[in-house]
Amino acid sequence: MGQRLRIFVSSTMKDLANERLAVCQRLSSFNVEPVNAETLGPSGGNSWARIQPEIASSDAMILLLGERYGWIPKNGPGADLKVSVTELEVIEARKHGIPILPFAKRLDDDADRTSDDAIKRDAFRKRIKDWDERGLFVQSFDLAPDLADKVAHAVIGMLTDEFQRQRIRDHAEATSQSRQSEPPPAELAASILPSIPGKLREAVQNRTAVLFAGSGISLSAGFPSAPAFAERFVQLIKAAQNQYFLTPAASTLAAVATDLESLRGRDSVTNAVRTLMDAPQNPQPTLAHLHAVQLFPRILTTNFDTLFERAAKIQALDPALVIAEIPSDILPSPVIVKLHGSSDAPESLMINEMDILFYAKARPNLWRAALRLLREQTVIVIGSSLRDPSVLRLFAEVGDRPTGYYVSPIVSPSDRARLSHWNLECIEASADQFLAALAQAVPALK
């Protein structure tokens, strides 16, 4: 078990195309996988045979109710129920105990109320509220951006509600065999792997390379993204300041964390982080994590999660763990350094603006130790844009350093130009692909 949260988006198609797109884009920004008909490829079977398992393996459903009731199949699967495909999807989700979050578009005063489709539409809306005397609370919306905001609020609310989290956890465990997961090693080996530069291979072979890992390597395991954390922080802020809104100058995660801590205290921030990091689908170490702890005696990461530690334990490795200030500016080896702290030790978290701005003063020994590693070792950056203020300052202070490498699935010309100033060569590959190729290039370390 362990992958991105999967949410099935159910609705009629023609009247809600813009709304479906807005919802899917917002879900994707949270590192949630939107599952809908537009993304399902042909499988050789009928449409319902393709849709049914996708619903069964999803963690929740977003139900959008628009102006139409939708197509009612005359024959084939579900035809005997004489309901629309959208209602069939709801019935299927109910059968599997999947949480359903319904949203209804407000109908104009002159909207059709008398046609057969309109009558069925209104009856369906009523059934959603009254279904089996367990009616769902339905939120209304007008425009696609309005809907996207309400979906975002509802999804984060679901992920921080213990009852709903347990429902998702139980369902994810029950369907773990049918859910999408990381590709097995044989499948990954058969894919196109990047070539490994000779200098990089030698540095890893000689144990003189350091891995600098950012959030991208954890997002692939299924953890929420920074926008998801910001959404939760905003929800908590609005509980104390209803008119709060994000300004362009205060839209970063650190800025929102600062506002939340100022209004509701440090515990409010750390508790929110811990709750979201305890993702109900139980993210697991990826192939990238497993390879990384084998290949690198020194790992620096800005991530709060414990995936590197768990990957090491799985393979009977025992690196030291650093999550806060250290007695001197010398790091042990092997070591995993969590520069911004760990979600299982809330007092260690560095998340608000002052934490980031004054990092070097708060943890001077750790700062100097990190600088030394980045100056003296061959650095490989994976999953980080190198734009976080504390990370930006860290790399800026390194100055002259050996050639390093920046790994990302997509590297733009502007990225190459910016990173060249830090003597970082770019390699276009996913973390799994790159580290699998590196493990093949230096097999003795495995």
Token pair listed for 28: 């994707």
Q: How does strand 6-10 pair with strand 33-35? A: parallel
Question: Which of the four pLDDT bands, split at 50, 70 and 90, describes residue 43?
Answer: very low
**Average pLDDT, stretch 372-386?**
94
Q: Are 52 and 88 in contact (CB under 8 A)?
A: no
How big is the chain, counted in residues? 446
Residue written as tokens 């369906």? 124
191 pLDDT higher than 70: no
Domain boundaries, the chain: 6-174, 185-223+284-445, 228-277
**Average pLDDT, stretch 212-234?**
95
Token pair listed for 336: 């995993």
Closest-CA residue to 287 (of 205, 217, 368): 217
Percent of the chain scored above 90 by pLDDT?
80
Contacts of 174-180 with CB under 8 Å at 24 or more apart are: 175/56, 175/57, 176/1, 178/53, 178/56, 178/57, 179/1, 179/3, 179/6, 179/57, 180/3, 180/6, 180/57
Question: Which of the four pLDDT bands, split at 50, 70 and 90, describes residue 50?
Answer: confident
- The listed range with the strongest mean pLDDT (2-6, 68-72, 241-245) is 68-72
308 pLDDT higher than 60: yes
Per-residue 3-state assignment (H helix, E strand, C coil) for 321-339: EECCCCCCCCCCCCEEEEC
Token pair listed for 62: 């977003």
Using left for φ > 0, alpha for ψ between -120 and 50, and beta otherwise, residue 207 falls in left
Token pair listed for 225: 């993204």
pLDDT in tens, 253-273: 999 999 999 999 999 999 999
**Average pLDDT, stretch 227-238?**
96
pLDDT in tens, 91-139: 999 999 999 999 999 999 899 999 999 999 999 999 998 855 556 789 9
**Lowest mean pLDDT, pick from 64-73, 163-172, 240-249:** 240-249
The answer to whether the Cα torsion of 290, 301, 235, 347 is positive or negative is positive
Query: How buried is residue 138: exposed, middle or buried, by Cβ count under 10 Å (0-12/13-18/19+)?
Result: middle
Q: Mean pLDDT for the chain?
A: 91
CATH T-level fold of 6-174: Rossmann fold (3.40.50)
**Lowest mean pLDDT, pick from 102-111, 238-247, 292-301, 327-336:** 238-247
pLDDT at 371: 95
Percent of the chain scored above 70 by pLDDT?
91
The gap between the terminal CA atoms of the chain, to the nearest Å, is: 25
Strand order in the sheet with 100-105: 33-35, 6-10, 60-65, 100-105, 139-141
Tell me: cis bond preceding 334? Omega within 30 of 0 counts.
yes
Assigned CATH for 185-223+284-445: 3.40.50.1220
Q: Are 106 and 143 in contact (CB under 8 A)?
A: no
pLDDT at 181: 47
pTM over 0.85: yes
197-216 burial code (b ≥16 CB/10 A, e <16) = eeebbebbeeeebbbbbbbb
| Alpha carbon distances (Å) from 21 to 62, 117, 149, 354 | 13, 24, 13, 37
**Average pLDDT, stretch 355-383?**
95
Q: Which residue has better confidence, 251 or 362?
A: 362
pLDDT at 113: 92
**Average pLDDT, stretch 364-376?**
96
Q: Report the distance separating Cα 137 and Cα 11, nearest Å.
A: 17
**Average pLDDT, stretch 283-292?**
96
**Average pLDDT, stretch 275-297?**
95
pLDDT at 49: 85
Q: Report the distance separating Cα 350 and Cα 394, nearest Å.
A: 15
Q: What angle do CA 70, 72, 78 make, to 5 degrees?
A: 125
Closest-CA residue to 155 (of 273, 59, 258, 16): 59
pLDDT at 45: 47
Token pair listed for 235: 């929800």
Q: Are 103 and 109 in contact (CB under 8 A)?
A: no
Question: Which of the four pLDDT bands, split at 50, 70 and 90, describes residue 44?
Answer: very low
Strand order in the sheet with 209-213: 320-322, 335-338, 298-301, 209-213, 378-382, 404-408, 424-428
